[in-house]
Structures are given as C-alpha cells and as structure tokens.
Amino acid sequence: MDFSPHPLHARLVADIRRLAPALHDTQLGERDRLALFSRDLWGVLCRARLHVLPAADSFGGQAAGAAALAQALEALGEHCEDTGLVFALAAHLCACVHPLVAHGSAEQQALWLPRIAEQGWIGAHAITEEEAGSDVNAMRTMAVREGDGYRIDGVKRYITNAPVCDFVLVHARTADKGSFLDFSTFILPRNAPGLKISKQPHEKIGLRTTAMGDIHFEGVHVSEAQRIGAQGSGGPIFQASMELERTCLFAMYLGVMQRQLRLSCQRAEGRVQFGQALIEQQAVSHRLADMKLRLEAARLATARAAWSLDHPPADPSASAIAKLLVSEASIRNGLDALQIHGASGVLSGDIERQLRNALPSSLFSGTTEVLKNHLVRQLRAECRRATRAQAVPGVA
C-alpha cells in the first residue's frame, strides 16, 4: 500500500472542505427532530458532482475507485454536520450508482446516468425484507418471466432513501434452487406502475435526516433491458455493493469521529473542574487517547479495505474487518465524547446526535454478529489450509 496523498483524493478533500459553508444548516436540529431530508442540501452535493463520483468523466463523474470514494465520504463526514445527508449520499453511491457503473450495459448507463447526473436523481437500493435482512436467502420478492420481461411482486422494508428516491435498484428472486444465483437485479423509475412507496419516513433513533421507508411491488412490469447483468447475477452484484458499502459508506464515520475528537479535546481543554482543566485529569485524557487509537485503527483498516477493492482480487475479509472496527469505534467514541462533554453533551446538539447516528452502524450492511461469523468461517478455512501445509510439505 502507498500512503502518499493521491492527487485525485487530495483534490476531492480540498473541494469538500471548501463546500462546507454551503452544507451548514442552522435548521439541522429541527430537521433532525422532525426527520426531514433536505433536498436543498442534496442539490448542493449534486452541483458539486459528488452524487456521480464513480461514473466516468463523460457522465459527469470522476471514475472514483474505492479509495477515492472513501476519502470523499470521510471528508464529508468531518465537514458536514448533517450525517444523515452524507449517509443518504453514500447509500446512493455504493448501492445504486456503483452497480450501474460496474455491471450495467453501455445502453443502461447511457439511459440512466445522465438522469442522475443532470437531474440530481437519488437512488434507493431495495433488498431488505421483513424476514430477509442478514439472511438474503429468505428473500421472497419474486420476478417472474412475463411477456418481454418480468413481473415483480413483493415488499421491501427499511429502504434508505425510499420516500425521496427517483429510481430504484431492486433485487428479486428469479429462481428457487437454493443457490447464490437465484437472484437478479433490476432498475426502474419511481413512477413505474404498481410500485408504491411509503410517503411517511420511518421514525428511528439516529440518521433521522435520511429518509427510510418501505416499497411495495404489485405486479410491476420491467423489461429485460431493465435487468442489470445476466439473470442470476444479482447475488454477486449485491455482494460487490456490500463490500463497497462496508468500506466506503462507513468511511463517513471516520470523518464524524475526527470532528468529534476535536470537539472533545476543545471541551477538555476549556472546562475547568477542581482547579484544573479536564484534560489534566488522567481519567479524561485517557478517554481522548482511546478515542484517537480507535479512530486511527479504523482508518487504517478502511484504507486497507479500499486498497484491496481497487487492486483485485480483493481480500474477502478486509471490508468486513473495516466495517466492524469503524462501527465499534464510532459507538464507543460517541459514548466517550458524551462523558467528556457532561451535561452539555446530553442536550440536543452535535455530540448527542453523533452518538445516535452511530448506534445503527452495528446493524446495517451486515450485523456485527453476522460479519464475525463470516470472519470465523474464513479463519477456520485458513487454519485448515495451514494444517494441511504442515502435514504435507509442499502443499499450500
């Protein structure tokens, strides 16, 4: 890995830092309370072309790979207090734009990417169902062959951006053989006949300015031209999206933790108790040190995962490790920041909002428990290979 600054990454970070004043919203506290997504701030991101970063230059993007995307989202996490807005962008980029760029045909890209780039369309990634979250094989939404395409029926739950989306990427079952190839991916506009989206966003503990809702598919017809990739390729497409999401979407929390650490250090320097600044008290100063250690460990794991995605074949465990470290660090650092700020941290504002926004991170994009199971399976496989290699010289 090369840790020297890449020109594209440095330019993205500098552009986002300059964009920060335009992303400041004095009404954020009220929007968070009312769970309101800001189309105005989304427009700021779109005018900066941040909503099409993975797309080619011909479509208004910068052909950003995983490392560039992670750097951009980390910078946004640090310089934009509306973490819900950044989360909405990250989900749109990782799970909607990237699959179209990486797996869509030239015709599909020519049709959809200009709409996204020029009209500021926002995407929703429809995969989760009531009984199919971590257990993707429990998915029941069906895409059945009908005429010149497919008929989709089913219900998707807890879908990020659903109430405000302009287009949907949906994963549906096209076979029932108990295989990874049972699923296919389709793209369709919000106004497709038979597609119904909940208007009222779900109430939730954090990321409240990200709109989340349900999508009902009632006899929705899609043509074969709306299928991304071959029939049965939905599993690999979804897996690639999740690896990118676990790496790049979670990079936004690195930026949040950087801002959080700065605020906590300032608080500890400025708050005097028992005749000395809080930072002079070892119990407090060690909290700051622990916050820094967690942040840097998570940042290194994210950099390694992004590098791995940009230099295939990717390490199958790198994105899971990064996601686990970032989610754990963001929650624990949020608790430490709250403790350092005391009563002022409990009051509504950036500190308490940071903690609430961190809490869901252990659930989405693969729960902590599921990803740890995944890592243990890989570890056991590695141990078996090592055992065989020791038993039979020359066998790897």
Assess whether 245 carries a catalytic annotation. Answer: yes
What are the phi and psi torsion angles at 334 (to 5°)?
A: -60, -40
Which residues lie across from 169 on neighbouring strands? 125, 187
Tell the residue number behind the tokens 């973490």, with chain if given: 83
Per-residue exposure over 382-393, b if at least 16 CB sit within 10 Å of its own CB, e if not: eeeeeeeeeeee
Specify whether the CB–CB gap between 362 and 330 falls below 8 A: no
| Total number of residues shown for the chain | 396
Phi, then psi, of 160 in degrees rounded to 5:
-60, 135
Return contacts of 375-378, CB within 8 angstroms, 24+ apart.
375/317, 375/320, 375/321, 375/324, 378/316, 378/317
Q: Which of 30, 146, 245, 280 is catalytic?
A: 245
Helix count and strand count (H, E) for the chain = 14, 10
Q: Residue 218 forms beta bridges with which residues?
A: 153
Q: Can you tell me the distance from the alpha carbon of 67 to that of 12, in angstroms, rounded to the nearest whole number?
A: 11
Instruction: Please give the angle made by the CA atoms of 380, 385 and 386, to the nearest 5 degrees.
Output: 95
Angle between helices 282-310 and 251-270 (to 10 degrees): 160
Which residues have a catalytic role annotated? 245
